[in-house]
Amino acid sequence: MTEKVKCLIIGSGPAGYTAAIYASRADMKPVIYEGLQPGGQLTITTEVENFPGFPHGVQGPELMDMFKKQAERLGSDIRYGLATKVDFSQKPFKVIIDDNHEIEAQTVIIATGASAKWLGIPSEKRLNGAGVSACAVCDGFFYRGKDVAIVGAGDSAAEEASYLANICNKVYMLVRKDKMRASKAMIHRVENTKNIEILYNTETVEILGDKVVDGVRVKNNITNELKTLSVSGFFVAIGHNPNTEIFKGFIELDEQGYIKTIPGSTKTNIEGVFACGDVQDKNYRQAVTAAGSGCMAALDAERYLASQH
Ligand code: NDP
């Protein structure tokens, strides 16, 4: 049987839960589906030191648990389940959960986030959270004064390498080709930063360390020469994949698959469907910016519903 919902929120990271908090307080009776990774990317990080309001820091999973409890206390209906299909071609909007439950929603807030790309080698998985990270801004601070490596050659890698260079003793930038993809300005910046050493034609063979990272084995893909770099942090910055597969064909995406929103709002090209957090932001990608845009989405949705009467 089709369930009718006023406000449906898809995704449960900082954006989704913040949208739920605001939507609950506005009496929109939001139903929120948590998706594959309840709590989102922060649940796979350790300490979060840059979320305001926590002077001593907070563990990522604990922070997301607090988001969830706050949304629940205010009346959000939080459910475990994955949106597997949508149809935004008519109103109310149709969303199928877990391939078997049909929902008709007056308004939909998409907060499905993005997933960091990984190299896919076993040592990267084994040492994740123990020196391996996909977020320099989140975790760079823990390697203050130490040597680290970062893999990637796009704007993110260049920007994160510069960020790390300010904190760390030395940054090895591992670039698999003989050139970088980043913008000229960013390449210029990393090339001219004294404590960044760029290793071109270099691939990661294995990240070393028993319990925590203590080095990385790299290979020059021209000469096949192997060497070990002694580092305590290993950062992966090879891009993100926005979680937008099910929305293809129903909503306007940019060339990288991120949902396009009207600047200064969370409005998509479909009136009544809003997007917030990393699924529409490839630039800032912070918990606090995602939460901020979740708030915007709930306010935009509230105004939309009010305009329908
Ligand atoms: P990109 O897709 O631009 O770059 C990914 C980089 O990772 C490429 O250099 C690629 O190498 C490398 N890479 C991919 N897979 C591997 C692998 N298995 N091993 C080694 N290297 C790998 O992603 P970004 O996150 O850097 O940027 C995404 C978008 O966001 C871009 O459009 C970028 O311009 C934009 N952006 C803008 C910023 C700004 O304006 N301030 C800041 C950050 C991002 P290769 O080149 O060899 O394919």
Residue 184 has φ and ψ, to the nearest 5°, of: -55, -45
Annotation says 295 is catalytic = no
Q: Over the chain, what is the mean pLDDT?
A: 96
Residue 49 has pLDDT above 90, yes or no: no
The architecture of the domain spanning 118-236 is 3-Layer(bba) Sandwich (3.50)
Residue 46 has pLDDT above 80, yes or no: no
**Which atom of ligand 1 is nearest the CA belonging to 119?**
18
pTM strictly above 0.85: no
Of residues 200 and 49, which shows the higher confidence score? Answer: 200
For the chain, what are the domain ranges?
3-115+240-307, 118-236
Work out the number of other CB atoms within 10 angstroms of the CB of residue 111: 32
**Torsion 153-159-165-168 (CA) sign:** negative
- The answer to whether 3-115+240-307 and 118-236 have equal CATH topology is yes
- Does 6 sit in the ligand 1 pocket, CB within 6 Å? no
* Tens-place pLDDT, residues 221-252: 999 999 999 999 999 999 989 999 999 999 99
- Which residues lie closer than 8 Å to 37 by C-beta, 6 or more apart? 43, 44
Q: Which of 7, 135, 168, 276 is catalytic?
A: 135
Distance (Å, whole) CA 175 – CA 191: 13
Query: Read out DSSP for the chain?
Result: -PEEEEEEEE--SHHHHHHHHHHHHTT--EEEE--SSTTGGGGG--EE--STT-TT-EEHHHHHHHHHHHHHHTT-EEE---EEEEE-SSSSEEEEETTTEEEEEEEEEE---EEE-----HHHHHTBTTTEES-HHHHGGGGTTSEEEEE--SHHHHHHHHHHHHHSSEEEEE-SSSS--S-HHHHHHHHT-TTEEEETTEEEEEEE-SSS--EEEEEETTT--EEEE--SEEEE-S-EEES-GGGBTTB-B-TTSPBP--TTS-B-SSTTEEE-GGGG-SS---HHHHHHHHHHHHHHHHHHHHHT-
The pLDDT value recorded for residue 290 is 98
Residue 2 has pLDDT above 90, yes or no: yes
Judge whether 182 and 158 are in contact, CB under 8 Å.
Answer: yes
Residue 173 Cα to ligand 1 middle (Å): 13
- Does 300 sit in the ligand 1 pocket, CB within 6 Å? no
Q: Which of 118, 137, 155 to mutate to test the pocket of ligand 1 (most atoms within 8 A of CB)?
A: 155
- Does 219 sit in the ligand 1 pocket, CB within 6 Å? no
pLDDT bracket for residue 202 (50, 70, 90): very high
Residue 270 Cα to ligand 1 middle (Å): 29
Residue 44 has pLDDT above 80, yes or no: no
- Does 177 sit in the ligand 1 pocket, CB within 6 Å? yes
Residue 114 Cα to ligand 1 middle (Å): 14
Residue 32 has pLDDT above 90, yes or no: yes
The pLDDT value recorded for residue 48 is 84
Mean pLDDT, residues 91-109: 98
Residue 297 has pLDDT above 90, yes or no: yes
* Tens-place pLDDT, residues 166-182: 999 999 999 999 999 99
Residue 67 has pLDDT above 80, yes or no: yes
Torsion of CA 40, 29, 103, 12, to 10 degrees: 0
Annotation says 7 is catalytic = no
The architecture of the domain spanning 3-115+240-307 is 3-Layer(bba) Sandwich (3.50)
* Tens-place pLDDT, residues 125-170: 999 989 999 989 889 999 999 999 999 999 889 999 999 999 999 9
Judge whether 116 and 134 are in contact, CB under 8 Å.
Answer: yes
Q: Which of 77, 99, 139, 278 is catalytic?
A: 139
Atom 21 of ligand 1, nearest CA residue? 152
Mean pLDDT, residues 182-196: 96
- Does 116 sit in the ligand 1 pocket, CB within 6 Å? no
Atom 28 of ligand 1, nearest CA residue? 239
Annotation says 87 is catalytic = no
Residue 77 Cα to ligand 1 middle (Å): 37
- Which residues lie closer than 8 Å to 225 by C-beta, 6 or more apart? 219
